[in-house]
Amino acid sequence: MPDASLPPRLHSLEFHGPLSAARANRLVVRLTANRPSTVLDIGCGWGELLLRLVDAVPGAHGVGIDLNSEDLARGRSTAAWRGLADRVQFVEESGIGSRRGPADVVLCVGAGHALTEVPRPDHLLAALRELRRLVAPGGRVLYAEGFWERPPTVLELSRMWPDAAADDHCDLARLTDLAVEAGFRPLWIETADQNEWEQFESGYQADVEEWLATNPHHPRAAELRHQADSHRASWLRGYRGILNLAYLTLIPVD
């Protein structure tokens, strides 16, 4: 059970990533054009995009898998509130070697790490090959993955997340080439914009920042303040304008 005296977890975010409602709506239209009956979401979190997809296609069913029980509980609650509890299942399990496919639509939004234990730099191709295995013939995959807008310097890497390395990501052209190598054709290539990143990064911190302003002497305040300040510095002094997120809508080659 979450500690009620601490800030809620990411409740200021609609999506767990730099994704606007407008882009999400466009993605739903594109991914439901063939009237899919099954949707699989790898590393689903609370499954907002999964729920929107299933809701858009009467009779469709979805499964979201993740290892975060709190996010999954949020997803189940939202599904029940929207009348989708009988059509969307949230399961606490690993995506490694998943046997949940094949599905007509497979989502993997910022969660390629949930598909493979292959070390970098081969992790990207390994994740894409897993997605190719999990999608049904004629289906669609939405693969959202980070990429470098430009090669980061050693100093910039040192200001990002712990152990950040140049081969954590590649550029957009190479990422798209890897999708083709894994057995896809890229139907649509798009990338997050600065406003989406600012909405995400601000929303990611908002619950904690509001709590810190009103609970400065709580026993956990110093710890949470350090975490918030470190994350903000990692974004503003590290990966802002260097790391971006690609949304690749992919079609499996027969």
Pair (189, 246) in one structural domain: yes
Is position 13 within any domain? no
Domain range for 223 is 198-231
Pair (134, 216) in one structural domain: no
Pair (247, 202) in one structural domain: no
Pair (185, 202) in one structural domain: no
Question: What's the predicted TM-score (pTM) here?
Answer: 0.96
Is position 11 within any domain? no
Pair (80, 163) in one structural domain: yes
Which is it for strands 103-109 and 38-42: parallel, antiparallel or unpaired?
Answer: parallel
Is position 16 within any domain? no
19-50: pLDDT as tens digits: 999 999 999 999 999 999 999 999 999 999 99
Is position 89 within any domain? yes
CATH number at residue 47: 3.40.50.150
Is position 161 within any domain? yes
User: H/E element holding 40?
Assistant: strand 38-42
43-86: pLDDT as tens digits: 999 999 999 999 999 999 999 999 999 999 999 999 999 999 99
Q: What Rg do the C-alpha atoms of the chain give, in angstroms?
A: 18
Is position 76 within any domain? yes
Q: What is the largest CA-CA distance in the chain?
A: 60
158-195: pLDDT as tens digits: 999 999 999 999 999 999 999 999 999 999 999 999 99
Pair (204, 176) in one structural domain: no
Pair (183, 202) in one structural domain: no
Pair (180, 208) in one structural domain: no
Q: How confident is the model at residue 5 (pLDDT cuts 50, 70, 90)?
A: confident
What letter does residue 10 receive in the DSSP assignment? S
| Distance between CA atoms of residues 131 and 87, nearest Å | 22
Is position 31 within any domain? yes
Q: How many domains does the chain have?
A: 2
Pair (177, 151) in one structural domain: yes
Distances in Å between the Cα of 226 and the Cα atoms of 222, 230, 231, 232 are 6, 6, 9, 10
Pair (163, 227) in one structural domain: no
Q: What percent of the chain has pLDDT over 90?
A: 96
Pair (177, 207) in one structural domain: no
Is position 77 within any domain? yes
